[in-house]
Amino acid sequence: MVERTAAPEAPPESDPVMPRALADIAPELDPALAAPSSLREFWGDFSQNRGAVAGLAMVIALVLVAIFADWIAPHSPIEQFREATLTPPSWHEGGTTKFLLGTDALGRDILSRLIHGSRLSLFIGFISVTLSLALGVVLGLLAGFLRGITEIFIMRLMDVMLALPSLLLAIAVVAILGPGLINAMYAIAIVLLPHYVRLARAAVIGETGKEYVAAARIAGAGPLRLMFNTVLPNCTAPLIVQATLGFSTAILDAAALGFLGLGAQPPTPEWGSMLADALEFIQRASWVVTWPGLAILITVLAFNLMGDGLRDALDPKLKR
């Protein structure tokens, strides 16, 4: 807070609602005027937070690794080098540069598996967050707009889901649907859902009382237009923050499910199931345990750093 009070030009940026609200009511007037300045303002806030920038850089790096996995990875993630099982990392005694981070019990190159695993983890994160966000926003908007019995029904259901520990709920869903990567994604989407519903509903209730919504309503906007065009754009900040943090939850929970044997099934190079496979070799070959966990930690850390930075930059009110 010190740097904020020290800077006298801080107050205008703490009220991002006004320019956006104006742009929303009359987008045809001058949309080009409001957008770039708010983007630059956001980047100014975001880049002040070194951790956030580091997180963003890591996320970008991970995305690149995931996209170009086929070219970066030295070997196929499922090719078994039978003559080189449990080879230690290259800088250890007995390691070779052919397998930089060593091989697992079946002689598969750990580095290549990790690189391909990043693809899976980001994919899981992306799909479950998108699913959850889309459904959550719709449910939240419905609850916030319709109120009454719909709201009570939706919110009580969300309360029930929130009462269950997240991993337990995910396990319950997987127990119904059966283990597997796709079902794990559904399970995680369901686990994340209540957060988005609550955020969207709270934001909608906060926004509907404002004058620009009344203005839009008087101007003849129908309920759907009011929901998605007028109110939703003004509720995006907390949702974006939550979605970023949701990525880290999704990746962590997917790895946990994989570890418990309920997520991705072998030979899929998923980080959590790689750890589970490594369990019995923990005493002989510690590297098979070290690397997948480190990959999970770094990825989750990157998304958490980025999410924290986004929260501070997008929504000063959320800053704790």
Partner 1 sequence: MTLLAFSLIHLIPGDPVETMSGERGMEPERYQRLLHEFGLDRPLYVQYFDYVWNVLRGDLGTSLTTHEPVLKEFVTLFPATVELALFAMVLSIAIGLPAGVLAAVKRNTVADYAVMGVSLTGYSMPIFWWALLLILFFSVQLGWTPVSGRISVQFDVPAVTGFLLIDAWRSGEPGALRSALSHLILPSVALGTIPLAVIARMTRSSMLEVLREDYVRTARAKGVSRLRVIVVHALRNALIPVITVIGLQVGLLLSGAILTETIFSWPGVGNWLIHGVLARDYPVVQGGILMIAAIVITVNLIVDLLYGVVNPRIRHG
Nearer to partner 1 (CB atom), residue 111 or residue 155: 155
Q: For residues 81 and 253, is the Cβ–Cβ distance under 8 A?
A: no
Q: Residue 128, CB half-sphere, CA atoms under 13 Å: how many?
A: 32
Q: What is the separation of C-alpha 70 from the centre of its chain, rounded to a whole number of angstroms?
A: 24
Nearer to partner 1 (CB atom), residue 202 or residue 260: 260
Q: For residues 132 and 196, is the Cβ–Cβ distance under 8 A?
A: yes
User: Does residue 97 bind partner 1 (CB under 8 A)?
Assistant: no
Contacts to partner 1 from residues 9-48, by CB under 8 A: none
User: Does residue 187 bind partner 1 (CB under 8 A)?
Assistant: no
Where would I find the beta strands (DSSP E) of 81-214? none
- Quote the CA–CA distance of 69 and 115 in Å, as a whole number: 6
| Phi/psi-derived region of residue 148, left when phi > 0, alpha when psi is between -120 and 50, beta in every other case | left
The one among 115, 305, 313, 314 contacting partner 1 by CB under 8 A: 305
User: Which residues touch 16 (CB under 8 Å, ≥6 apart)?
Assistant: 38, 41, 237, 314
User: Does residue 304 bind partner 1 (CB under 8 A)?
Assistant: yes
Contacts to partner 1 from residues 238-297, by CB under 8 A: 248, 252, 255-256, 259-262, 272, 275, 279, 282-283, 286, 289-290, 292-294, 296-297
- The distance of closest approach from Cβ of residue 6 to partner 1 in the complex, given in angstroms and rounded to an integer, is 12
User: Does residue 235 bind partner 1 (CB under 8 A)?
Assistant: no
- Quote the CA–CA distance of 119 and 62 in Å, as a whole number: 8
User: What's the token pair of residue 8?
Assistant: 């006298």
- The distance of closest approach from Cβ of residue 4 to partner 1 in the complex, given in angstroms and rounded to an integer, is 12
Nearer to partner 1 (CB atom), residue 125 or residue 292: 292
Nearer to partner 1 (CB atom), residue 19 or residue 179: 179
User: Does residue 156 bind partner 1 (CB under 8 A)?
Assistant: yes
Nearer to partner 1 (CB atom), residue 97 or residue 283: 283
Determine which helix (DSSP H) or strand (DSSP E) holds 98, and give its type and residue range: none
- The distance of closest approach from Cβ of residue 33 to partner 1 in the complex, given in angstroms and rounded to an integer, is 36
- Quote the CA–CA distance of 145 and 204 in Å, as a whole number: 7
User: Which residues touch 303 (CB under 8 Å, ≥6 apart)?
Assistant: 55, 59, 125, 244, 245, 247, 248, 251
Nearer to partner 1 (CB atom), residue 54 or residue 127: 54
User: Does residue 320 bind partner 1 (CB under 8 A)?
Assistant: yes
User: What's the token pair of residue 25?
Assistant: 């009511």
User: Does residue 137 bind partner 1 (CB under 8 A)?
Assistant: no
Q: Which residues in this chain contact partner 1 in the complex, by CB under 8 A?
A: 1-2, 51, 156-157, 160, 163-168, 171-178, 248, 252, 255-256, 259-262, 272, 275, 279, 282-283, 286, 289-290, 292-294, 296-297, 300-301, 304-305, 308, 320
